[in-house]
Each structure stands twice: as structure tokens, then as C-alpha cells.
């Protein structure tokens, strides 16, 4: 593997979300193995500086600016092909490792990499190949697979931000880039969970073209966690992640304030529900909104919490929040949905039905009176989710 040239592609190249963190971390891991690595994406002011950034695709926006430019990008037209061709010519990769590329970039670039002669590997961070709205959830927050059989459902249900125009764009994108066509130009799909693998197979991806590799810890956080003792005093609940309806943050806050015990909940992250949740719960002393935080702050917070709650209402794939909490020795109360169930056992947490009334409150009470072997949880998880474990599997397919 030493000396192999790997181009990593993601639409944003700063710690915006789980896909960005994984893409950036993978680049660092591969460099440590002696690979020559470059990153490519959309030009965006928050991106970390990159040697190829003068070849990046121009910025498009789906909330401001030209809708025509955004639609051209979705369909693979405009400057996207010329920009990516310039990056291919300059870097000359042996392998192109794609992450999140729909909409802000375009699946057109996968075919370009294949025709260039590079091996094409694509890590799935969401359900975009199956669901035009990414998350397999209907507008009411319920799990939904209607588009698997009837793609027009994204339009009839207004699944994209409740907007007819946005939903039509999502439908057009799915029609333009069907799974069958993308399978022809992708050598291997990387699925972070067995649940995601089953969904991809259902959509028509051959099982032989999928490798299931669990997400790994961010190397910086891994180093911090390994340096921390597992027996630190613990109290309170913690949530880390996106403040959005499909992630269940509204359900969690509602449940916590209803409990007579009034447990302290620290909420780390931001998202579309942030303003609404801040306004609604500002007067509750046991709710603390901490916003974004750096790696040291997050790892300290995880290592001192009694439990992390992952209240997703959607088919969460392989949430980094759960992986990080377990690696801090912190047990997890997780929704019994999607890939979350593969991470939680009776020794490191509990599962509950996210759609059953009262289940979250009952589960939190159950977790609060349980005792866990924090040191054992940490040791097992640091091995399972280590960068070395992840890298050894990834190197086999790049």
C-alpha cells in the first residue's frame, strides 16, 4: 500500500459533520501508512486549506443564489466535470475514495474516475442512493422506504424540506443517477453497518460489491480518550450531534423536562432545531446547550457523563456519537433502530423503542439506576473502534 496515490472526495472539507470528519481522518490515517493523499471537494470558505483547492468545483447553494446553477450541478453539468478532470490530471490517483458527493458535487465524477483508470471506492454515510431525501424518514419523522418502489413519493410527500421545488430536484437527481448505473462505475461500496449493507442490497447493489467496515474514532479523539482514566466521577446525561427532528433531540428534551428527577442534560451540537429548542427550554435549569465544542472538550464531557442518549427517530447508520461515548467508557441509551442496534449490548447500554409512548423516559430511569463496568466498556470499544482496526480493513479494498 505504501506509495499508492489516493484521492479522497467529499463535498465539504472541514469538520461539518460525520462524513467530513471521516473523510479528513481517513486522509491522515492513509498518510501515516505512506500513501500519497490529496482531498478534493466544493470550494467553500470554511474548508481546510488543500493543495488541490484551486481545482475545486465552484460553490453552489440550495438556499441562496442561482437555482439553475444548483440544478445543473445536481445533474452533473456546468463546471463540475472540468474541475474534477483538472484534479485527476494533476494528482493522477491510483484510487479515488468517495464520501458524500451528491448535490453539491455530483455522481458524474465517479464515472470520470473509473474512465481515468482509477479504482473507485465509495463510503456510504447516508441513504442517498436509496432515498432522495437522504434519511429514509417521512415528513412526520417516521421511518419510510416508499421511494424504494415509488420514487415519486419524495414529491408527493414533499420530503425535501417540505418544498415542492426541492423535492422535484431530489426526484430528478435520483432519476439521473440510478443505483444500477452507479454500480457499473463503482468498484466497491463501503458500508459502516450491517443494516446499511442490507438496505443497499435491497436497492440492487450486489452483495459482492459491498464491504462492511464500522466507522473509526477520529485519531485526535482516540489519543485523548486513551490518555484518560476510565474511573473518573460520572454524573448527568449527554447528547452530542445534530439538533434536528430525525435525530430525536426534541423528543429527548421533552422527556427530560417531564421527569420528576430532573436529570442534568448537556447538549452539544447545532442544527435546524437549535433556535426553537433554545427558546423552548431556556428556563429549564437542568438543560444546558453547549453548542459546538473542540475534541478535548467533547472527550472530557463524554468521560464524565453517566450516559449518552442517542434518541434517533431515523435509520441512523453508524453514529460517531455512540462510538465516541463507548470509547470513553460511557454507556449508551440508544433507539432501537438502524445500525444503532449493532453498537449496543446489555453490557454497554440499553435499547428502547423510539416510537413507543413513554419508552424513552422509562429507559432513562432504568439506565440511571444501573451500574456498568466503565473500564471494560472503554477497553473493548477502543479496540473495536480503533483507527488501526478500521485501517487494516480499509487498506484491503483501496
State pLDDT tens for residues 65-96: 677 888 899 999 999 999 999 999 999 999 99
Same domain as 355, residue 270: yes
Q: pLDDT tens digit string along 205-229?
A: 999 999 999 998 988 899 999 999 8
Same domain as 269, residue 209: no
Same domain as 165, residue 96: yes
Q: pLDDT tens digit string along 245-256?
A: 889 999 999 999
Q: What is the mean pLDDT of residues 336-342?
A: 96
Cell for 206? 450486489
Expressed as residue numbers, the domain containing 368 is 219-384
Same domain as 177, residue 163: yes
Same domain as 376, residue 256: yes
Name the 3-class secondary structure at 167. Answer: helix
Side-chain half-sphere exposure of 253, counting CA atoms within 13 A: 26
Same domain as 198, residue 230: no
- How many domains does one find in the chain? 2
Neighbours of 280 (CB within 10 A): 15
Same domain as 223, residue 211: no
Nearest residue to 24 (alpha-carbon basis) of 55, 49, 61: 49
Partners of 137 in beta bridges = 143
- Asked whether 36 and 5 are in contact (CB, 8 A), the reply is yes
Same domain as 138, residue 108: yes
Q: For residues 95 and 88, what is the distance between their CA atoms, to the nearest angstrom?
A: 11
DSSP for 230-283, please give it: TT----SEEEES--SGGGTHHHHHHHHHH-TT---EEEE---TTHHHHHHHHTT
Same domain as 241, residue 92: no
Can you give the CATH number for the domain in which 358 is found?
Answer: 3.40.50.2000
In the numeric block, the cell 455522481 is attached to: 107
Same domain as 322, residue 196: no
Nearest residue to 9 (alpha-carbon basis) of 36, 32, 38: 38
In the numeric block, the cell 472527550 is attached to: 299
Same domain as 366, residue 225: yes
Same domain as 264, residue 342: yes
Q: pLDDT tens digit string along 102-160?
A: 999 999 999 999 999 999 999 999 899 888 888 888 887 778 888 888 889 999 899 88
Amino acid at each position: 500500500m505504501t506509495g499508492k496515490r489516493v484521492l479522497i472526495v467529499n463535498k465539504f472539507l472541514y469538520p461539518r459533520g460525520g462524513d467530513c470528519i471521516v473523510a479528513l481522518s481517513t486522509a491522515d490515517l492513509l498518510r501515516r501508512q505512506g500513501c500519497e493523499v490529496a482531498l478534493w471537494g466544493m470550494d467553500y470558505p470554511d474548508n481546510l486549506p488543500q493543495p488541490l483547492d484551486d481545482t475545486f468545483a465552484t460553490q453552489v447553494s440550495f438556499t441562496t443564489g442561482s437555482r439553475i446553477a444548483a440544478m445543473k450541478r445536481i445533474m452533473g453539468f456546468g463546471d463540475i466535470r472540468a474541475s474534477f478532470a483538472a484534479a485527476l490530471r494533476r494528482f493522477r490517483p491510483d484510487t479515488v475514495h468517495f464520501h458524500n458527493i451528491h448535490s453539491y458535487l455530483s455522481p458524474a465524477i465517479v464515472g470520470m474516475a473509473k474512465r481515468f483508470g482509477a479504482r473507485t471506492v465509495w463510503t456510504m454515510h447516508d441513504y442517498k442512493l436509496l432515498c432522495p431525501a437522504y434519511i429514509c424518514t417521512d415528513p412526520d419523522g417516521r421511518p419510510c422506504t416508499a421511494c424504494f418502489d415509488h420514487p415519486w413519493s419524495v414529491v408527493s410527500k414533499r420530503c425535501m424540506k417540505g418544498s415542492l421545488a426541492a423535492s422535484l430536484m431530489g426526484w430528478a437527481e435520483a432519476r439521473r443517477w440510478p443505483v444500477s448505473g452507479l454500480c457499473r462505475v463503482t468498484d466497491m461500496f463501503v458500508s459502516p453497518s450491517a443494516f446499511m449493507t442490507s438496505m443497499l442490497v435491497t436497492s440492487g447493489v450486489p452483495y459482492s460489491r459491498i464491504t462492511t467496515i464500522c466507522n473509526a474514532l477520529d485519531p485526535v479523539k482516540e489519543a485523548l480518550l486513551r490518555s484518560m482514566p476510565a474511573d473518573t466521577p460520572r454524573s448527568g446525561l449527554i447528547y452530542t450531534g445534530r439538533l434536528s427532528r430525525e435525530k430525536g433531540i426534541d423528543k429527548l428534551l421533552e422527556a427530560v423536562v417531564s421527569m420528576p428527577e430532573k436529570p442534568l442534560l448537556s447538549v452539544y451540537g447545532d442544527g435546524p432545531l437549535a433556535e426553537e429548542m433554545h427558546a423552548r427550554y431556556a428556563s429549564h435549569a437542568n438543560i444546558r446547550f453547549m453548542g459546538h465544542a473542540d475534541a478535548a472538550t467533547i472527550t472530557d464531557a463524554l468521560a464524565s457523563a453517566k450516559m449518552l442518549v442517542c434518541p434517533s427517530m431515523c435509520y441512523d447508520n453508524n453514529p460517531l456519537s455512540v462510538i465516541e461515548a463507548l470509547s470513553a467508557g460511557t454507556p449508551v441509551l440508544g433507539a432501537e433502530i438502524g445500525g444503532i442496534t449493532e453498537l449496543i449490548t446489555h453490557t454497554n447500554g440499553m435499547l428502547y423503542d423510539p416510537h413507543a409512548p413513554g419508552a424513552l423516559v422509562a429507559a432513562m430511569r432504568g439506565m440511571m439506576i444501573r451500574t456498568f463496568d466503565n473500564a471494560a466498556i472503554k477497553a473493548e470499544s477502543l479496540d473495536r473502534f480503533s483507527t488501526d482496526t478500521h485501517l487494516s480493513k480499509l487498506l484491503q479494498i483501496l
